[in-house]
């Protein structure tokens, strides 16, 4: 029994794990949409959209595998690359964009980062869609944008982790590495034991990323709250001084 041998039992397990992945991602996306309604930050909405899209994309892939697999196979379309890989790329693109909304760069650098990240994401989506529908041999080229974006995210969160001395943020780096590798494996060796292991890796990866982003989001909110608390303290002190003057 080889790791790349395809079996029905692997297909069934893969579908179950993909649905579990989708549910987790959608719940995380909804959570960040709820948080966005409270903090109204661009970072939070990007995370919300990224997780929701990857959840829906993988769910669509599971639906296709269950009910429309023959339709896509007869037409030479790789539905895993078309739906799951595109969804993962959108998640990675959203995470990349979010790194330029945390206020850690100068305004000009943020603008350049946002534009270049958007361009890479759009190019990546086009290449992945073409790879899934027509040009299966474009595998390496189609994955270049997602690898480049992933490298930036790994560098950014590693740097942020050491700068803030909060090494929990390194789980984002680990999660990105794992989801990039696992996504490639699950898409390239679907319905096999190796593909099944790839999906398990994706489940672990998205949990790690969600945890790291939760820590990052909490720190960002605390930084936003500090100036407000200081301002409230100043106002309170001024009020106390006025009361003392009046009583005198």
Q: Is the pLDDT of residue 121 over 90?
A: yes
Flag whether 23 is in a domain.
yes
Q: How many CA atoms lie within 13 A of 22 on its CB side?
A: 17
* Section 112-122 average pLDDT: 94
Q: Across-strand partners of 6? A: 192
DSSP 8-state code for residue 124: H
Flag whether 88 is in a domain.
yes
CATH number of the domain residue 105 falls in: 1.20.1070
What total of structural domains would you count in the chain?
A: 1
Would you state the pLDDT for residue 248? Answer: 34
Q: Is the pLDDT of residue 167 over 80?
A: no
State the pLDDT confidence band at 229, using cuts at 50, 70 and 90.
very low
Instruction: Tell me the three state secondary structure of residue 40.
Output: coil
Map 80-121 to HEC letters.
HHHHHHHHHHHHHHHHHHHCCCCCCCCHHHHHHHHHHHHHHH
State the pLDDT confidence band at 217, using cuts at 50, 70 and 90.
low
Flag whether 238 is in a domain.
no
Check: pTM over 0.85? Answer yes or no: no
Highest mean pLDDT: which range of 33-42, 117-126, 154-163 = 117-126
Would you state the pLDDT for residue 247? Answer: 42
Instruction: Tell me the three state secondary structure of residue 192.
Output: strand
Phi then psi for 4, rounded to 5 degrees?
A: -100, 0
Residue with tokens 């009020």: 239
Flag whether 79 is in a domain.
yes
Flag whether 32 is in a domain.
yes
Q: How far is Cα of residue 79 from the mean position of the Cα atoms in its chain?
A: 20
The tens digit of pLDDT for each residue in 22-53 reads: 999 999 999 889 988 888 889 889 999 999 99
Interatomic CA distance for residues 219 and 231, integer angstroms: 19
Q: Residue 82: which residues within 8 A CB-CB, separation 6 or more?
A: 61, 72, 128, 129, 132, 133
State the pLDDT confidence band at 188, using cuts at 50, 70 and 90.
confident
> Exposed, middle or buried: residue 184 (CB in 10 Å: 0-12, 13-18, 19+)?
middle
Flag whether 236 is in a domain.
no
For residue 131, what are the domain limits? 8-223
Would you state the pLDDT for residue 228? Answer: 47
| Spatial contact of 151 and 116, defined as CB atoms under 8 Å apart | no
- Span of 11-20, 69-78, 102-111 with lowest mean pLDDT: 69-78
Would you state the pLDDT for residue 246? Answer: 41
> Exposed, middle or buried: residue 70 (CB in 10 Å: 0-12, 13-18, 19+)?
exposed
Q: Is the pLDDT of residue 119 over 90?
A: yes
Quote the percentage of the chain above a pLDDT of 90. 23
Interatomic CA distance for residues 33 and 42, integer angstroms: 11
Q: What is the mean pLDDT of the chain?
A: 82
* Section 67-76 average pLDDT: 83
Crossing angle for the helix pair 170-188 and 139-164, nearest 10 degrees? 170
Flag whether 150 is in a domain.
yes
Flag whether 71 is in a domain.
yes
């Amino acid at each position: 029994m080889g790791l790349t041998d395809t079996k029905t039992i692997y297909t069934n397990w893969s579908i179950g794990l993909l649905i579990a992945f989708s549910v987790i991602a959608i719940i995380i996306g909804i959570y960040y949409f709820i948080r966005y309604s409270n903090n109204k930050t661009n970072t939070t909405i990007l995370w919300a959209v990224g997780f929701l899209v990857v959840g829906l994309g993988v769910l669509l892939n599971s639906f296709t595998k269950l009910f429309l697999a023959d339709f896509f196979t007869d037409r030479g379309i790789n539905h895993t690359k078309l739906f799951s890989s595109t969804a993962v790329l959108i998640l990675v693109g959203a995470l990349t964009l979010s790194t330029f909304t945390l206020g850690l760069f100068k305004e000009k650098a943020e603008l350049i980062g946002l534009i270049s990240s958007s361009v890479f994401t759009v190019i990546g989506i086009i290449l992945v869609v073409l790879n899934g529908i027509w040009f299966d041999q474009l595998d390496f080229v189609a994955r270049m944008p997602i690898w480049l974006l992933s490298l930036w995210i790994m560098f950014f969160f590693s740097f942020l982790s050491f700068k803030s001395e909060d090494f929990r943020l390194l789980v984002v780096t680990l999660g990105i590495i794992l989801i990039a590798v696992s996504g490639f494996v699950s898409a390239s060796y679907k319905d096999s034991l190796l593909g099944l292991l790839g999906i398990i890796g994706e489940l672990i990866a998205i949990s790690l990323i969600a945890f790291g982003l939760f820590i990052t989001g909490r720190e960002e909110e605390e930084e936003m709250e500090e100036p407000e608390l200081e301002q409230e303290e100043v106002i309170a002190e001024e009020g106390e001084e006025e009361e003392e003057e009046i009583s005198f």
